[in-house]
Amino acid sequence: MRRGAVRRRAAWRGTALASLGVLAFSGSFPATVFAMEGFDPYLVAIGRAVLAGAIALVFLAVARAPLLPPRERLGSYLVIVAGVVFGFPVFSGLALDSGASASHAAVVVGLLPAATAVCAVLRAGERPRALFWVSCGLGAVCVTAFTLSRGGGHVTGADLLLVAALVSAAAGYTEGGRLARETPGWRVISYALVVALPLTVPATAVLALTTEVRPGVASLAGFAYAGLVSMFLGFIPWYAGLATGGIARAGQTQLVQPLLTLSWAWLLLGERFGPVTVAGAFAVLACVAMTQRARS
């Protein structure tokens, strides 16, 4: 009985930690929109990793932890770098710059928990029930129907960029969740950011010198949020939650992220969205909920 109580406490603790991560991530799209008012999309995407990487170095130094990950884990950290340091920020930023609204992006990327679950299944060799795959397929159909309805019967380039963003994030989340079982979550994201610095620092310097920079209060605040919260602080409770509560259970907290992002887009950006967007968000949420339930 005592062991069961310990497991339940761990599960709830993991869920609470993951929820903090989801709350942090839900503001990423509005923050990126603000940041791009004064900075080039590539500069926002890559420059925020430099800001987060500098903070990561401070955290590692204060904790007297090694500044680089174990060599045998380098391959896993490169997957995280490709997925969440470069892939998701670059693809999502370009999608928003191409005309996709934050609310539109929230619905498409709402399929992320299901994509993460698929990556986890493939990576861990699990064999979920048929309902899992049916639910994933329904979620993909819902997203496709939504994008076609919003794009006049066509899938736009921005939609393809958003799909690339969610696939990138799913790979990075899965690999990070696996590493966080052995390494504290804050060190997992810190090592990924530090490993990326030899690429992000020179790229940021070149972009800062060759693109137009028009910093303002809103753009600087958006850039700071994207770098400090979306790229670093949010991952600390997120990876810890996945490791503590289990990827399948704690990952369910991400179901509310599209709805939170819709709220932020309305409050901060003044975006207006109709019933189609709301219906699309709830349809994706229902499908993803089924995938999580079938897998767990």
Is pLDDT at 176 greater than 90 in this prediction? no
Look at residue 120 in the predicted model and tell me its pLDDT: 75
What pLDDT, in 10s, does the model give residues 238-255?
888 877 776 656 666 777
What whole-number distance in Å separates Cα of residue 263 and Cα of residue 241?
24
Look at residue 241 in the predicted model and tell me its pLDDT: 81
**Cβ neighbours of residue 148 under 8 Å, at least 6 residues apart?**
154, 155
What pLDDT, in 10s, does the model give residues 180-223?
888 888 899 999 999 999 999 999 999 999 999 999 999 999 99
Look at residue 276 in the predicted model and tell me its pLDDT: 75
Q: Which amino acid is at 190?
A: S
Per-domain boundaries in the chain: 2-295
Look at residue 260 in the predicted model and tell me its pLDDT: 85
**Of the candidates 138, 149, 130, 173, which has an alpha carbon nearest to the alpha carbon of residue 286?**
138
Query: Are 159 and 108 a contacting pair, CB within 8 Å?
Result: yes
What is the pTM for the complete model shown? Answer: 0.84
Query: Are 60 and 197 a contacting pair, CB within 8 Å?
Result: no
Q: Is 104 helix (H, G, I), strand (E, B) or coil?
A: helix
Query: Are 67 and 194 a contacting pair, CB within 8 Å?
Result: yes
Residues in the chain: 296
Tokens of 205: 């310097």
Query: Are 270 and 276 a contacting pair, CB within 8 Å?
Result: no
Residue corresponding to tokens 């907290």? 253
Is pLDDT at 126 greater than 70 in this prediction? no
What whole-number distance in Å separates Cα of residue 14 and Cα of residue 6?
12
CB atoms within 10 A of CB 153: 7
What whole-number distance in Å separates Cα of residue 240 and Cα of residue 160?
31
